[in-house]
Homo-oligomer: A and B are copies of this chain.
Amino acid sequence: MTTIRDVAQQAGVSPATVSRVMNGLVGYTDATRQRVEGAIKKLNYEPDSLARTLKTRQTSVIGLLAPMVSDALASEVMRGVEDAARERGYAVMLGRTGVKSTFIAGYLRTLRTYRAAGVILISAVITPEMRQLLGPAIPIISVAISDNSGSPSVAINDELAAYDATRYLLKLGHRRIGLLAGDPVSVFVAQPRQRGYERAMIEAGCATVTAAGTFFYESGAPGLAQLLQQDPDLTAIFAMSDEMGAAVVNELQKLGRRVPEDVSVLGFDNTSTSQHVHPALSTIAQPLEEMGQIAVRKILRSRDLGPRVVQHRLIKRGSTGPPRASS
């Protein structure tokens, strides 16, 4: 391994000078700079991040905790994080949530010993334990979920997004709209979305019909059954995830109902799954990749922490249309 000393010797200067040149500090002649740069190039020298971090306490890693289960969403966010981090010279260290909390504690400790610049948490809320484990120096931010504690976060306004989605179906002429909710445990995603749906329905004078799912594909079919049991004449289903939406589309066709002629289906997230059914799912898009980038920027500018709301977008595809009666 070639060290700063080797370079210094090669260039006929002291290690300190080499360091100065590398870090663009002042205090050397142009001639020595050139000699040093020549030596660096010649020896193909690369400074040791570890030693540097040990000394300066300035780190170059960002921690990323993702739930590697329902992945399409996390995957998009990760792409944004990875891009933004690399651009700025940061490395990304990966961990999984959705595992035992002792694991995530261990992971946070590792990040602390690596003096991470910050931690990004996908689809999970920041707990006081996490905050405490990281210590005051390391910021943590959540993505795609916003508790109302004022913790740093990047997320859409879930309540408003669901409200807009429901309004869209109402405007198409639907009155009997069922909601296939996500895991009710997920207080900060499923609940605001449900509130948004209810608000729109109530404003329009329509009755609400809801069933609880898990966000996963498997819960789509039983959820649909529950909804149809409550109201067999539903003309639209709003699912809180594309996976459930896709399952609903498939299941409806199995039951002999056409989409969207008999029943419209609307998904959520605009993950690739939404394109994997026919007709393709209309859905609410979150700017996931951008959210990952924003999270990195916020972490690195540690002042602007606090919640950041990004815009959702309605994407119209083949799975929604006006209801039978009004067409």
Contacts and interface: CB of A to CB of B under 8 A. Distances in A.
Q: Is the interface of A mostly helix, strand, loop or mixed?
A: helix
A114 interface: yes
B50 A113 contact: yes
19 contacts: A46-B109, A48-B54, A49-B113, A49-B114, A50-B114, A50-B115, A54-B54, A71-B71, A71-B75, A72-B72, A79-B96, A82-B94, A82-B96, A86-B103, A92-B94, A93-B94, A94-B94, A247-B276, A250-B277
B113 A246 contact: no
Contact of A50 (B50, B96, B103): B50
Contacts of A54: 48, 50-51, 54
B68 A79 contact: yes
Contacts of A93: 61, 91-94
A217 interface: yes
B53 A50 contact: yes
Interface in A66-99: 68, 71-72, 75, 78-79, 82-83, 86, 91-96
A48 B94 CA distance: 19
B46 A217 contact: no
A254 interface: yes
Given A51-B54, A250-B277, A82 B109 contact: no
Interface in A22-78: 46-51, 53-54, 61, 64, 68, 71-72, 75, 78
Interface of A: 46-51, 53-54, 61, 64, 68, 71-72, 75, 78-79, 82-83, 86, 91-96, 103, 106-107, 109-110, 112-115, 217, 243, 246-247, 250-251, 253-254, 272-273, 275-278
Contacts of A106: 86
Nearest to A49: B113
Contacts of A68: 75, 78-79, 82
Given A50-B114, A72-B72, 12 more contacts: A46-B112, A49-B113, A50-B54, A51-B54, A64-B94, A71-B71, A78-B94, A82-B95, A92-B93, A93-B93, A217-B272, A217-B276
Nearest to A272: B217
Given A75-B68, A82-B95, A246 B112 contact: no
Contacts of A75: 68, 71, 75
A276 B278 contact: no
Contacts of A110: 49, 91
Nearest to A81: B94
A152 B81 CA distance: 29
Contacts of A72: 71-72
Nearest to A64: B94
Contacts of A254: 278
